Amino acid sequence: MKTILSALLIASLGLTSCLNGLSAKEEQNKKLIEELFRHFNDHDWKAYSAIYADKALFLDPSLGQVPVSQTKEQIESKYQNLQTVFPDIRDEIVHLYTSGDKHVIVEFVSTGTSEDGSKFSLPICTIFTIENGKIVDDFTYYDN
C-alpha cells in the first residue's frame, strides 16, 4: 500500500509539472530573462551585460541586417550610450514565452524620453538563446 501511495504521489507531481508547462530548465531561463529586464530598468549595465556570454551574437536593426558578435564591454557601452540619449529608458514585458530548454521569446515595449522632451514607445520582440546559464544569441525585431 505504501509503495502504491508513493507511486501515485510521484505520478501526481509529474503530472502537476506537466500541467504547469515549464521544465526546470525553462523556469531557470525564464528567471534569467526576467533578471535581464530588471537590470535594464535599473540601468545597471554591468549586471545586464554579465548575463550574456563573453561573446554573444546579436541580430538587431540598430547594428545592421546581419548577426553581429558583441562582447560584454560592447553591450555595456551600447546601453550606456542609449541611456545618455534617453535617461528614463525602460522596457515593459508584455508576454514572455519559453520554448524548450534553450529559448525564451519576449514581447515588450521600450519607452523613453529624450532631453528635448521627445517621447518614444516601441514594441519589440526578442528571441534569446541560452546556453550554460548565459545568453548566446539575442535576435531582436522591431519596426525601425
* Per-residue pLDDT at 22: 82
Of residues 64 and 89, more confidence is placed in 89
Q: At 65, phi and psi to the nearest 5?
A: -105, 5
pTM here? 0.83
Domains of the chain, first to last: 22-141 (3.10.450.50)
Stretch among 10-24, 47-61, 102-116, 122-136 having the lowest mean pLDDT: 10-24
Q: What pLDDT, on a 0 to 100 scale, did the predictor assign at position 4?
A: 46
Number of Cβ within 10 Å of residue 138's Cβ equals 19
Q: Three cell numbers at 135?
A: 545568453
Amino acid at 107: E
Residue 109 CB partners (closer than 8 Å, separation 6+): 91, 92, 94, 121, 122, 123, 124
φ/ψ bin of 107: left (φ > 0), alpha (ψ from -120 to 50), beta (otherwise):
beta
Q: What is the mean pLDDT of the chain?
A: 89
Tell me which of 46 and 8 has the higher pLDDT: 46
Contact 56, 137 (CB under 8 A): yes
Scanning 1-144, the segments in alpha helix (DSSP H) are 2-20, 24-42, 45-50, 72-85
Tens of pLDDT, residues 31-86: 999 999 999 999 999 999 999 999 999 999 988 899 999 999 999 999 999 999 99
Measuring CA to CA, which residue among 24, 22, 30 is closest to residue 135?
A: 30
Residue range 1-12: average pLDDT?
A: 41
